[in-house]
Every structure is written in C-alpha cells, then in structure tokens.
A and B are shown apart, each in its own frame.
Chain A
Amino acid sequence: DIQMTQSPSSLSASVGDRVTITCRASQTISTFLNWYQQKPGKAPKLLIYGASTLQSGVPFRFTGSGSGTDFNLTISSLQPEDFATYYCQQSFSPPRLTFGGGTRVEIK
C-alpha cells in the first residue's frame, strides 16, 4: 500500500498567519491527492481534491499544490474556524486508499 506521511504532526499558529502542511507519498501518485479538515467530534470535510481543486463552498484561503510524491496544503490567512486537524489521502489506487496521520493546527 502507498504510505502517506504528513508533516508537521502539529503546529501552533495565530489568526492571520500563513500555514503550510506537507504530505509525502511513498510512491508517485500523480495528482490523486485529497485534503480533509476534521474538527473535534465531527466527520472529515473534503477541502481539496485532485491535489489543487477546491471543493465547492470551501474558502479561497485554502490552496493545494504538488504532484508526484510531494504535496502542500496552504492556508493563506488562518481564521478562528480553521483550527482543526487536516488529513491528506491518496486516491491513486482505488480502492486501496490511504490517509496521512494528520496535522493538528492549534491556536498559539
């Protein structure tokens, strides 16, 4: 199975900060990469699919980039509602999907 490694595992940031989360695949996955946001007690929410396509209704401050094995999720100006855990997930080889371990974004 394709392994997905996220970094950092957690970070502290302030409202208004620019934040970047990295996801690395153990083999090339083209742009078959999704990003999810999960808040405590809630289900994951799709933010970005195909590495860079913003899901409908997701604010433009979220951007995804990358291809092959290295990907980034960037929040251009962190808002209070963005404090959550973020997961990457590869869909290169359905149905064998795998998720990253998550990045927890906390308030500094």
Chain B
Amino acid sequence: EVQLVESGGGLVQPGGSLRLSCAASGFIFRNFAMSWVRQTPEKGLEWVSAIGGSGTSTYYADSVKGRFTISRDNSKNTMYLQMNGLTAEDTALYYCAKDLNARGSYGGNADYWGQGTRVTVS
C-alpha cells in the first residue's frame, strides 16, 4: 500500500525557515517523480515544486523560486522541501504527492497524496 507521510510543518515568523519531509513507502521510490502542492481556502490548490526520480531534475513555481529547495534521499525513501524567507503568503497546508508513471521524469499526474502538513507564517 502506498503511503506518504508529511512532517515538519508548524508556526514560524516571517523571514524564517522550515524543512518539510515526506516519507514514502509501498512503492519503488527512486522510480517516481514527486511533488509538493499547497492548499489554502483563498487560492485553492497550488503546485509548488517537483523533483525527478533521480533527484537531478528540480522544478519550482515562480512564487517560491529562489526561496524553496526540493531534494530527495532515495536511500531513505524521503523527499524534502527546505523553505527559507517565508512570508504570510506561504501559509498553507502542504501536500506531497507521487507521480503516476514510473518513468522518473515529472509528468504532473499525482496519483497518491499524503495527508498534508500545515505551515503557518505569522
């Protein structure tokens, strides 16, 4: 059974940093691209960042580029999102998601999502 468990969210002051983690199980982690998607009542669902299966290809939304860094440790079946320079606009529920196809490159089709970790910047 595929499981994705996010952690690392919390309350942080503007300008602060957080590191989110996504622990994966139930599939061959290194074969799948992964992504982070955030959700707020105001903006809805917003794609944040993605990473290819090998970790060499990374992608960012314009709103977080230069402040967030996505990475993964395939030996630990875990993906990370380092978030620096946080602002109130980053307040959201952050989901990690697994890509549908086992081709390693990011296709943008998320077939499994974690339950989310909440980030509050205030």
Contacts A94-B50, A95-B50 given; indicate if A46 touches B45 (C-beta within 8 A). no
In chain A between 28 and 76, which residues have their CB closer than 8 angstroms to a CB of chain B? 32, 34, 42-46, 49, 55
In chain A between 81 and 108, which residues have their CB closer than 8 angstroms to a CB of chain B? 87, 89, 91, 94-102
- Contact present for A91 and B107 (CB under 8 Å): yes
A21 to chain B, nearest CB (A): 15
Per DSSP, chain B at the interface is strand
In chain B between 88 and 113, which residues have their CB closer than 8 angstroms to a CB of chain A? 95, 100, 106-113
Mark A residues whose CB is within 8 Å of B.
32, 34, 42-46, 49, 55, 87, 89, 91, 94-102
Checking B110, B114, B115 against A46 with a beta-carbon cut-off of 8 angstroms, the contacting residue is: B110
B113 cross-chain contacts in A, Cβ below 8 A: 43-45
Q: What are 26 A-B residue pairs whose CB atoms fall within 8 Å in the complex?
A: A42-B115, A43-B95, A43-B115, A43-B116, A44-B95, A45-B113, A46-B109, A46-B112, A87-B44, A89-B45, A89-B108, A91-B108, A91-B109, A94-B50, A94-B59, A94-B108, A95-B47, A95-B50, A95-B106, A97-B108, A98-B47, A99-B44, A99-B45, A99-B47, A100-B44, A102-B45
Pick from A44, A94, A101, A102 the residue with the most CB of B within 10 Å: A94
- Contact present for A87 and B45 (CB under 8 Å): yes
Instruction: Tell yes or no: B46 within 8 A of A by CB.
Output: yes
- Contact present for A49 and B95 (CB under 8 Å): no
A46 cross-chain contacts in B, Cβ below 8 A: 100, 109-112
Bound-complex Cα distance A51 to B106 (A): 18
Checking B45, B50, B100, B106 against A44 with a beta-carbon cut-off of 8 angstroms, the contacting residue is: B45
